[in-house]
Structure 1
């Protein structure tokens, strides 16, 4: 029996995509030496759930449609996911390498450099996410028995281990000093870019996404029974992460750049915030206690979130070149307009390409991994 459609998954994709654009626009805004700390907090701190929540909904979508009592067809799974993720990843990576090589006059990378860029997802700054997702898919035979057997205590232990591992990876001085001081360039790259392919940094949010999908009836009952607690958890976790950011600025003398590179999604408060945001947005979009007219916008954002995620650095790059040529610095009002322009241009491009792709299916296949639906014979 087919499962019911869950609009919450699509809507969360849209919200997350908006958050990712905020993070990347925030990076441009921080080039202003007198950037507003509060706007930086909006761009860079409040949005920190955006990348890890993608792993949550990816796992949720996979396990929601898997029957754990039946054998898992690993080859079929990889074939489907390769079309949806690996193919667009390679196409977009080559697009950015060719485009940026021409635009910035750096040329196309040599074969060994190309292999490194593709392995680590460094062809463009947003593409590492797809590398992590690919590794999650490759390791799917590990996740299925874990999701099948894990219980509440196991999730709590995994949550604690996640915080400990992320803290070590991000903040252990001796470990990071060792990595940066390595003389072997190959080993140094594998450790320096560990955030780009070590799924261990996001294993908890992926596993709990799968767990809640498998136990969706209980999860739905929990959402309906504890809406106030869920909202409070989200608000408290956001306040905690923001408080940490402001404390770094006020009491430790951190720059805004240093503060956002510390109060991120892998710090302990960031892990808590990701969990809270995942449950909060799923609850909000499942219960839909808001004007229903918003659903059309949320659906539009969710439907085109993948393309927008992949294309938005293209528009950010060109708009920044125009501003730099005009000698314009991103002030707070201009940064907000810049953000909105990035969303609008990226979304318009997504709608246009999807529309063209309906007549030229190869375009949708290459850019989104989408195949044309089979025509039914009348």
Structure 2
């Protein structure tokens, strides 16, 4: 924890709720991707499609939660003692190296018939810059941008914290959070209502950034700042989250209903259903995700008090989430291929797509997490999943801050 003058207290507590929140976020992402395999199928019934869509936009907090945790853990571990070059070196080894390995693995899996030659290398090189084939690797590009600009966020928040300390110690960084939130709402409006329709009026590089804004750190910046702000005064924010839980629940219900209404208006009774209505980058989803993050934080805090088998399992998933995230799409793809073969002999399976989705989700979660755990035990495994699970890692571990765990 950080005191009012921006200095570390002598003993840093382990923030156990972050482990639980990380595990929940990982589970949400795997479930999202599992839903995506069935919601668009031509033989999915309207009821199943809407059920899956309703679940889908309820669990869209996954990536924002990881960005939130990235801001929180980076500030917690590096406040006042950041060696930027060493920081980037460690982050590159633990994040970019696995990314460099998994990108060609997925390319071979998606295009097994292609011959490995110069043209193949060019295509893989393009995927390294803009990962469009492996639908989940864009997150690595997103999170590494936050690592690159972290010193600027750190200096700005340190300055803002010092200014508040001079005038009113009780205010902390609330003004920063409020103004950032208002600016972010405007950005979400522009992302949803303006940029898609005016991209062609901008120069080529701007058009490119608009087209791939879902992997641009600016469009997730609020969650990063929110995580960092909470870290400055952790105990106070725990009390705030508990104290305003009722009003937050009201916000969650209203915003979830709003997003559901948008989904119905956009899709109606037409199939396949369009899950893009649940994009994170629009104002209504911002309010939903924000309320969900606060609700999940409250759940995570309660989980740390109970310490039952469920919280231990979720924390374990969170611990190995980076490696599991990298491998889960491959396992999901293989399982779907097997399922398609089974469906030839069991065509009635399409009447139970909601149940099938959850079965696939559970299998993928367990296998991908076990794979990550096993790879963490192998010396060369760090090149596939980073250094997660290492027993001798220091407090300022170089793990991916959002995915995987930190010794905090």
Please indicate the TM-score interval, normalised by the length of the shorter structure. 0.7 to 0.9
Matched, 1:17 2:37: no
* C-alpha deviation, 1:217, in angstroms: 2.2
**Residue 223 of structure 2 aligns with which residue?**
205
Distance in 1 (alpha carbons) for counterparts of 2:34 and 2:67: 22
Cα-Cα RMSD: 2.9
Question: Which residue among 257, 264, 269 is the counterpart of 2:279?
Answer: 264
Deviations 1:152-172 (A, max 9, x none): 233222212212222222332
- Mean CA deviation greater in 151-160 or 338-347: 338-347
2:167 corresponds to which residue?
Answer: none
* CA shift in 2, pair 1:305/1:333, >3 Å: farther
Question: When the two structures are superposed, what TM-score results if normalisation uses the length of structure 1?
Answer: 0.85
Instruction: Say which of 154, 159, 176 aligns to 2:176.
Output: 154
Q: Partner of 2:188 in structure 1?
A: 166
Q: Within 2, Cα distance between the matches of 1:209 and 1:86?
A: 23
Query: What is residue 262 of structure 2 aligned with on the other side?
Result: 244
Q: CA offsets, 1:259-290, max 9 Å, x none? A: x3123211111111121112211122113376
TM-score by length of 2: 0.79
CA contact (8 A) 1:56 1:205 kept: yes
SS of match in other structure, 1:207: helix
Shift of 1:330: 6.3
Shift of 1:245: 2.2
- 1:49 paired residue among 61, 64, 87: 61
> Which residue number in structure 1 is paired with residue 308 of structure 2?
292
* Counterparts of 2:250 and 2:107, CA distance in 1: 44
- Specify whether residues 123 and 278 from structure 1 end up closer, same or farther in structure 2 by C-alpha distance, changes over 3 A only: same
Give the 3 Å change call, closer, same or farther, for CA 77–123 of structure 1 in structure 2: farther
Matched, 1:231 2:249: yes
Q: Find out whether 1:59 has 2:71 as its counterpart.
A: yes
For residues 52 and 364 of structure 1, the distance between their equivalents in structure 2, rounded to whole angstroms, comes to 25
For residues 93-151 of structure 1, the C-alpha deviation after alignment (integer angstroms, 9 at most, x for no partner) is 1221223221xx24556444333211123341001011000001001121112323163
Q: Helix, strand or coil for the counterpart of 1:139?
A: helix
Q: Alignment partner for residue 119 of structure 1, among 129, 137, 140? A: 129
Mapping of residues 34-113 of structure 1, within 5 Å: 34-35=45-46, 36-67=48-79, 70-102=80-112, 105-107=113-115, 110-113=120-123
Please state how far the C-alpha of 1:56 moved relative to its aligned partner: 0.4
Q: 1:319 aligns with which of 317, 335, 342?
A: 335
Contact 1:159-1:204 at 8 Å conserved across structures: yes
1:194 corresponds to which residue?
A: 213
Pair 1:76–1:25, CA change in 2 (3 A): same
Equivalent of 2:146 in 131, 136, 140 = 136
Structure 1 segments unaligned to the other structure (5+ residues): none
Gaps of 5+ in 2: 1-9, 162-172, 394-408
Go from structure 1 to structure 2 and tell me whether the alpha carbon gap of 1:5 and 1:32 turns closer, same or farther (over 3 Å shift): same
CA separation of 1:335/1:181 partners in 2, compared to 1, >3 Å: closer, same or farther?
farther
In 1, the alpha carbon distance for the partners of 2:383 and 2:280 equals 32
